[in-house]
């Protein structure tokens, strides 16, 4: 389920590795270049094979129908078993009654004056028949952070608004409302399944002075306890009894976390004695909050935390996905920057989790429908409580982390393999970014300062890479002489041996330039994960970009261009141009003329990323643009202050010394000997 995040990391690795291969391949012979191209082709064949063998939509639909049929059959078997148990119980009672009074009168049905009333109460909804009808009033509780509405019908949360945030079009940010949420508790009474979503609850404030109010506001450090109660056997004369089902909500004004407890109070005679579990169902139709519908859709899915395992999620790229899991600590309906999470104090016995994308648009800005059905163990007692909690809030690292529930792992910072990405973001990038944010500077300036800091940290690595390139560059005329000496294809191995012998005498390791690049790759990729996931950048403007967390469109086409999109993102365009210029300058500085195929790959790759980054966060493209510009400055400074004549003189002195074989050179010589070649 973590394959999407791993795939994104590999895309970045592939980009840098291709650059790495190209830079080193230009010093090799043509046969070696063909070998590299062959490896690339093999990778292409593997990717193509995986695409061709992927299941079709028809196969996915067929599998889904089979899963649905199995689920329905399982549920029907449970119902049949419950009915059978109830019939056996009734038969046992009749048998026991007959053994005590085996007369016709004792077993014959008797007329009862209360039969009519009993029939009215114990109808389709049994003891809850009087709760089927009512007025769906809403009780509003407003804090400094959120505004919540509780519906009489179903007793659940019907509306959540985050007051400190707005949508991309400056409207109130509503996570869900009555039309997009379904909230239901299922239990057994009179051998029937009762669904609370169709029953009317009564509001109850634990602070008696608030009774009867339909709107309450709290602030500062204030808190409130509010409940929705479902009473059985109620009528016009008796509204409340001592036995009830209660949804208890404990709300703090300065907290996005809200405690939620389901209480069964004196319900032994109401809930069937043979009940062993309760089912809590929650479904949300999520709505668009950000400017890029496509990007937000790719970041919307269900996350969950198994009690004894790491946080996981359903793959975002799948339109429809369903899974059943045991012992789940929490389930979260996660969007790009906001989350609705249900948390158990212990764990849910099982969780059926599903994501689906409706083919018919439910409402403007619809993203996905996320569903979970959670199982709670049930034992009939005087009072039974299920302590839980809701988190309705932002995907902000510091906010989520303070709860110690691993909620922050929903923020895609590179938690999956390779784990070093998450460590870099957690222990280096985020602390520095938060420290700079406290200054109150514009986030565009903060990104500039952060880029400068990282470039200074990576300066020794960049210098090492440049020096390696300089050594290779001053030896290029001699490498070209070796190439002219062995022009034939069948002399490719001799040519390579002679080249490696030259490097060996000069004291140069051809792979020395690769290692520094590999060392800085995790940092570059960690930042690739950090900027699009940072809610701090949401709706923050810089220059022409109105929202650094989304694309910076300067022109909309009005139609979609395949691979590119329907708009021009200027930071992405500038980043691409700067990358092409860097590639050209680097080739000129190296003084190399690469093969036509290699040259095409070198210049095609930035163009490919033009389409890939066009819909991404403008902060990321802006960062890569800054990184390229600072790299230009570094190259100029290195070129100005590094004397290549001295490097060449030092290499000539090294050639006079006895050569020492490096491990890499020894392996090359052993490979050559196995093929029948000997080094002179």
HEC profile of 311-323: CEECCCCCCCEEE
Position 118 scores a pLDDT of 34
| φ/ψ (deg, to 5) at 223 | -140, 165
Whether 511 shows a pLDDT value over 90: the answer reads no
Rounded Cα distance between 163 and 169, Å, is: 15
Rounded Cα distance between 622 and 125, Å, is: 61
Whether 454 shows a pLDDT value over 70: the answer reads yes
Give the 3-state secondary structure of residue 305: strand
Whether 41 shows a pLDDT value over 50: the answer reads yes
Whether 315 shows a pLDDT value over 70: the answer reads yes
Whether 48 shows a pLDDT value over 70: the answer reads no
User: Last residue of some domain: 352, 375, 410?
Assistant: 410
Whether 102 is covered by a domain: the verdict is no
CB 157 within 8 A of CB 181: yes
Whether 215 is covered by a domain: the verdict is yes
pLDDT digits (tens, 9 = 90+) for 359-413: 777 888 899 999 999 999 998 888 899 999 999 999 999 999 999 999 999 998 8
Indicate the range of 128-132, 207-211, 473-477, 572-576 predicted with least confidence: 473-477
pLDDT digits (tens, 9 = 90+) for 97-107: 334 433 333 32
Whether 622 shows a pLDDT value over 80: the answer reads yes
Tokens 């795939």 found at: 7
Neighbours of 66 (CB within 10 A): 10
- The per-residue pLDDT of the chain, averaged, comes to 78
User: Last residue of some domain: 393, 410, 427?
Assistant: 410
Q: How many CA atoms lie within 13 A of 338 on its CB side?
A: 23
For the segment 338-363, the average pLDDT, to the nearest whole number, is: 90
Whether 92 is covered by a domain: the verdict is no
CB 351 within 8 A of CB 373: yes
Whether 99 is covered by a domain: the verdict is no
Residues making up the chain, counted from first to last = 680
- Same domain membership, residue 336 and residue 424: no
Whether 594 shows a pLDDT value over 80: the answer reads no
Q: What is the residue-wise DSSP string for 419-451? A: THHHHHIIIIIHHHHHHHHTTT--HHHHHHHHH
For the segment 317-345, the average pLDDT, to the nearest whole number, is: 91
Give the 3-state secondary structure of residue 256: coil
Position 242 scores a pLDDT of 84
Position 190 scores a pLDDT of 83
For the segment 220-236, the average pLDDT, to the nearest whole number, is: 87
When mean pLDDT is compared over 39-48, 77-86, 131-140, 252-261, the highest value belongs to: 252-261
- Same domain membership, residue 509 and residue 489: yes
Rounded Cα distance between 635 and 585, Å, is: 9
Position 103 scores a pLDDT of 36
Q: Sorting pLDDT into bands at 50, 70 and 90, what band is 490?
A: confident
Position 31 scores a pLDDT of 42
Write the CA distances from 521 to 413, 450, 606, integer angstroms: 15, 17, 17
Neighbours of 43 (CB within 10 A): 11
Indicate the range of 59-63, 143-147, 210-214 predicted with least confidence: 59-63
Using a pLDDT cut of 70, give the percent of the chain over it.
Answer: 73
For the segment 551-560, the average pLDDT, to the nearest whole number, is: 89
Whether 121 shows a pLDDT value over 60: the answer reads no
Higher-pLDDT residue of 425, 489 = 425
Position 196 scores a pLDDT of 93
Position 240 scores a pLDDT of 66
For residue 59, the Cα-to-chain-centroid distance in whole angstroms is 26
CATH number for the domain including 271?
2.70.98.90
Position 658 scores a pLDDT of 63
Whether 89 is covered by a domain: the verdict is no
- Same domain membership, residue 263 and residue 374: yes
Indicate the range of 115-124, 280-289, 489-498 predicted with least confidence: 115-124
Whether 595 shows a pLDDT value over 70: the answer reads no
Q: Sorting pLDDT into bands at 50, 70 and 90, what band is 514?
A: low
- Same domain membership, residue 561 and residue 424: yes
Indicate the range of 144-148, 433-437, 456-460, 478-482 predicted with least confidence: 478-482
For the segment 137-151, the average pLDDT, to the nearest whole number, is: 95
Per the rule left: phi > 0, alpha: psi between -120 and 50, beta: everything else, 440 is left
Whether 508 is covered by a domain: the verdict is yes
- Same domain membership, residue 447 and residue 404: no
162: nearest Cα among 411, 391, 402? 391
pTM of structure = 0.74
Indicate the range of 34-43, 54-63, 92-101, 425-434 predicted with least confidence: 92-101
Q: What is the residue-wise DSSP string for 86-121? A: HHHHHHHHHHHHHHH--SHHHHS----TTHHHHHHH
- Same domain membership, residue 43 and residue 186: no
Whether 235 shows a pLDDT value over 80: the answer reads no
Whether 7 shows a pLDDT value over 70: the answer reads no
Neighbours of 56 (CB within 10 A): 8
Rounded Cα distance between 38 and 666, Å, is: 25
- Same domain membership, residue 533 and residue 450: yes
- Same domain membership, residue 430 and residue 354: no
- Same domain membership, residue 458 and residue 402: no
CB 311 within 8 A of CB 304: yes
- Same domain membership, residue 169 and residue 205: yes
Position 140 scores a pLDDT of 96
Whether 504 is covered by a domain: the verdict is yes
Position 66 scores a pLDDT of 54
Whether 108 is covered by a domain: the verdict is no
- Would you say the C-alpha torsion 605, 608, 612, 617 has a positive or negative sign? positive
CB 148 within 8 A of CB 226: no
Q: Which domain holds residue 351?
A: 62-80+127-410
User: Last residue of some domain: 354, 388, 410?
Assistant: 410
- Same domain membership, residue 72 and residue 43: no
Higher-pLDDT residue of 408, 274 = 408
- Same domain membership, residue 29 and residue 66: no
pLDDT digits (tens, 9 = 90+) for 458-489: 888 888 878 877 777 777 788 778 878 887 77
Indicate the range of 131-145, 513-527, 584-598 predicted with least confidence: 584-598
Rounded Cα distance between 42 and 40, Å, is: 5
Q: State the Rg of the chain over Cα.
A: 34
If one counts the domains in the chain, the total is 2
Indicate the range of 100-109, 408-417, 505-514 predicted with least confidence: 100-109
Rounded Cα distance between 534 and 395, Å, is: 8
Position 536 scores a pLDDT of 94
Whether 15 shows a pLDDT value over 60: the answer reads no
């Amino acid at each position: 389920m973590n394959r999407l995040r791993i795939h994104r990391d590999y895309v970045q690795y592939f980009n840098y590795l291709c650059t790495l291969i190209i830079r080193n391949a230009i010093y090799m012979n043509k046969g070696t270049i063909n070998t590299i191209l062959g490896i690339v082709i093999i990778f292409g064949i593997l990717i193509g094979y995986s695409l061709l063998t992927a299941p079709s939509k028809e196969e996915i639909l067929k599998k889904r129908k089979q899963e649905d049929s199995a689920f329905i059959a399982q549920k029907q078997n449970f119902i049949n078993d419950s009915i059978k148990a109830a019939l056996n119980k009734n038969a046992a009672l009749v048998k026991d009654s007959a053994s005590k009074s085996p007369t016709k009168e004792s077993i014959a049905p008797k007329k009862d004056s209360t039969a009519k009333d009993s029939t009215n109460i114990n109808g389709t909804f049994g003891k809850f028949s009087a709760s089927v009808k009512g007025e769906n009033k809403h009780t509003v509780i407003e804090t400094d952070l959120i505004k919540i509405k509780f519906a009489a019908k179903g007793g659940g949360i019907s509306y959540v608004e985050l007051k400190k945030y707005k949508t991309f079009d400056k409207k109130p940010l509503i996570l869900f409302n009555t039309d997009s949420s379904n909230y239901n508790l299922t239990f057994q009474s009179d051998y029937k399944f009762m669904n609370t979503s169709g029953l009317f609850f009564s509001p109850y404030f634990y602070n008696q002075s608030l009774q009867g109010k339909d709107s309450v506001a709290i602030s500062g450090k204030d808190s409130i306890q509010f409940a929705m109660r479902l009473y059985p056997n109620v009528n016009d004369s008796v509204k409340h009894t001592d036995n009830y089902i209660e949804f208890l909500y404990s709300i703090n004004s300065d907290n996005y976390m809200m405690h939620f407890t389901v209480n069964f109070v004196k319900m032994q005679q109401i809930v069937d004695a043979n009940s062993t579990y309760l089912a809590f169902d929650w479904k949300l139709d999520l709505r668009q909050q950000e400017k890029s519908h496509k990007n937000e859709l790719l970041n919307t899915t269900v996350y969950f935390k198994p009690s004894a395992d790491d946080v996981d999620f359903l793959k975002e790229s799948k339109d429809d996905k369903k899974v059943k899991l045991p012992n789940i600590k929490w389930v979260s309906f996660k969007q790009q920057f906001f989350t609705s999470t249900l948390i158990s104090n212990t764990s849910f016995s099982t969780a059926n989790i599903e994501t689906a994308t409706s083919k018919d648009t439910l409402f403007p800005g619809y993203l996905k429908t996320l569903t979970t059905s959670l199982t709670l163990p049930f034992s009939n007692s005087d009072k039974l409580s299920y302590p839980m909690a809701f988190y309705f809030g932002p995907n902000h690292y510091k906010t989520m982390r303070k709860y110690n529930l691993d909620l922050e792992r929903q923020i895609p910072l590179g938690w999956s393999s390779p784990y070093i990405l998450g460590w870099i973001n957690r222990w280096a990038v985020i602390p520095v970014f938060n420290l700079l944010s406290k200054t109150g500077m514009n986030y565009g300036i903060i990104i500039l300062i952060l880029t400068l800091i990282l470039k200074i940290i990576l300066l020794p690595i960049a210098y090492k890479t440049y020096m390696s390139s300089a050594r290779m560059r001053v030896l290029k005329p001699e490498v070209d002489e070796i190439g002219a000496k062995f022009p034939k294809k069948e002399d490719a191995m001799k040519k390579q041996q002679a080249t490696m012998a030259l490097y060996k005498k000069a004291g140069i390791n051809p792979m020395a330039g690769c290692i520094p690049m590999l060392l800085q790759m995790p940092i570059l990729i960690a930042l690739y994960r950090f900027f699009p996931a940072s809610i701090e950048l949401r709706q923050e403007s810089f220059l022409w970009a109105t929202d650094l967390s989304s694309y910076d469109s300067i022109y909309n086409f009005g139609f979609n261009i395949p691979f590119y999109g329907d708009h021009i993102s200027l930071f992405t365009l500038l980043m691409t141009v700067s990358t092409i210029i860097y590639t050209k300058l680097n080739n000129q500085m190296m003084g190399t003329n690469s093969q036509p195929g290699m040259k095409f790959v070198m210049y095609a790759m930035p163009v490919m990323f033009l389409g890939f980054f066009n819909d991404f966060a403008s902060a990321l493209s802006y960062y890569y643009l800054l990184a390229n510009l600072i790299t230009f400055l570094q190259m100029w400074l290195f070129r100005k202050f590094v004397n290549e004549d001295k490097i060449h003189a030092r290499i000539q002195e090294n050639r006079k010394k006895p050569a020492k074989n490096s491990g890499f050179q020894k392996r090359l010589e052993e490979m050559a000997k196995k093929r029948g070649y000997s080094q002179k």
